Amino acid sequence: MDITKEIDQLRRQLNEHNYRYYVLDQPTIQDYEYDRMLRRLEELEAAHPELVTPDSPTQRVGGQALDSFAQVVHQVPLESLQDVFSFEELEEFGQRLKSAAPEVGEYLVEPKIDGLSIALEYENGRFVRGATRGDGRVGEDVTENLRTIRSIPLSLEGAPPRLIVRGEVFMPKTVFEELNRQRELNGEPLFANPRNAAAGSMRQLDPQVAASRKLDMLVFNIQYAEGVSFSTDGEALDWLAGLRFKVIQYRTVQTIGQASDVIREIGERREEYPFDIDGAVVKVNNLAARETLGSTAKFPRWAAAYKYPPEQKESVVEDIVIQVGRTGVLTPKAVVRAVRLAGTTVTNATLHNQDFIAEKDIRIGDSVIVQKAGEIIPEIVSVIPEKRPADAVPYRFPDHCPVCGAPVVRDEDGAHIRCTGAECPAQLLRNLTHFASRDAMDIEGLGPAVIQALVDADLVRTPADLYRLQAEPVAALDRMGKKSAENLLAAIERSKHNDLSRLLTAFGIRQVGQKAAKVLAARFGSMERLLEASEEELTAIPDIGGITARFLLEWLHSEQGSHLIDQLRQAGVNMASLSQPTGDRLAGLTFVLTGELESMTRKQAGEKIEALGGKVSSSVSGKTSYVVAGEAAGSKLRKAQQLGVTILDEQGFLALLSEN
**Contacts with 207 (C-beta within 8 Å, 6 or more apart), sequence order:** 61, 62, 63, 65, 144, 145, 147, 148
Q: Is 112 a catalytic residue?
A: yes
- Domains defined for the chain, CATH in brackets: 3-59 (1.10.287.610), 82-307 (3.30.470.30), 313-419 (2.40.50.140), 421-580 (1.10.150.20), 590-658 (3.40.50.10190)
Rounded Cα gap, residues 214 and 152, in angstroms: 12
| Strands 408-410 vs 417-419: parallel, antiparallel or unpaired | antiparallel
Quick one: pLDDT at residue 660? 47
Q: How far apart are the first and last CA of the chain?
A: 60
Rounded Cα gap, residues 622 and 311, in angstroms: 53
Decide if 281 contacts 271 (C-beta within 8 A): no
Angle of the 546-556 helix axis to the 559-570 helix axis, nearest 10:
70
Rounded Cα gap, residues 61 and 208, in angstroms: 6
Rounded Cα gap, residues 246 and 22, in angstroms: 8
Decide if 276 contacts 376 (C-beta within 8 A): yes
Q: In a 3-state reduction of DSSP, which class is residue 207?
A: helix
Please compute Rg for the chain using Cα positions. Answer: 29
Distances (CA, A) of 292 to 100, 103, 159, 592: 8, 10, 28, 56
Please give the torsion angle defined by the CA atoms of residues 462, 465, 467 and 470, in that order, rounded to the nearest 10 degrees.
-150
DSSP 8-state code for residue 465: G
Angle of the 428-436 helix axis to the 173-185 helix axis, nearest 10:
70
Average pLDDT per consecutive 10 residues, the chain (660 residues; last block may be shorter): 82 80 68 73 82 77 63 92 92 94 93 94 95 91 92 93 96 88 72 83 85 93 95 96 95 96 92 89 96 89 90 92 84 91 79 89 95 74 94 93 90 78 87 91 91 93 94 90 93 93 92 89 91 92 87 92 95 85 77 87 82 84 92 85 91 81
Rounded Cα gap, residues 566 and 519, in angstroms: 22
Rounded Cα gap, residues 228 and 235, in angstroms: 12
Q: In a 3-state reduction of DSSP, which class is residue 255?
A: coil
Distances (CA, A) of 483 to 320, 436, 475, 478: 48, 20, 8, 13
CA–chain centroid gap for 336, Å, is 31
Decide if 322 contacts 335 (C-beta within 8 A): no
Of the candidates 112, 615, 636, 639, the residue annotated as catalytic is: 112
Phi, psi of 330 (to 5 degrees): -85, 115
Quick one: pLDDT at residue 7? 83
Strands of the sheet containing 82-84, edge to edge, are: 82-84, 303-307, 277-284, 107-113, 251-253
Distances (CA, A) of 489 to 328, 484, 552: 28, 9, 30
- Reference 303, options 103, 75, 112, 77; nearest CA is 112
| Strands 82-84 vs 303-307: parallel, antiparallel or unpaired | parallel
Decide if 22 contacts 246 (C-beta within 8 A): yes
Angle of the 173-185 helix axis to the 194-202 helix axis, nearest 10:
80
Distances (CA, A) of 554 to 241, 511, 557, 608: 61, 12, 5, 32
Distances (CA, A) of 559 to 426, 534, 556, 562, 563: 17, 18, 8, 5, 6
| DSSP-derived secondary structure for 325-377 | -TTSBEEEEEEEEEEEETTEEEEEEE--SHHHHHHHT--TT-EEEEEEETTTE
Rounded Cα gap, residues 491 and 402, in angstroms: 35
CB atoms within 10 A of CB 613: 15
Rounded Cα gap, residues 108 and 106, in angstroms: 7
Burial group, residue 377, by CB count within 10 angstroms (0-12, 13-18, 19+) = middle
Say what the pTM is.
0.59
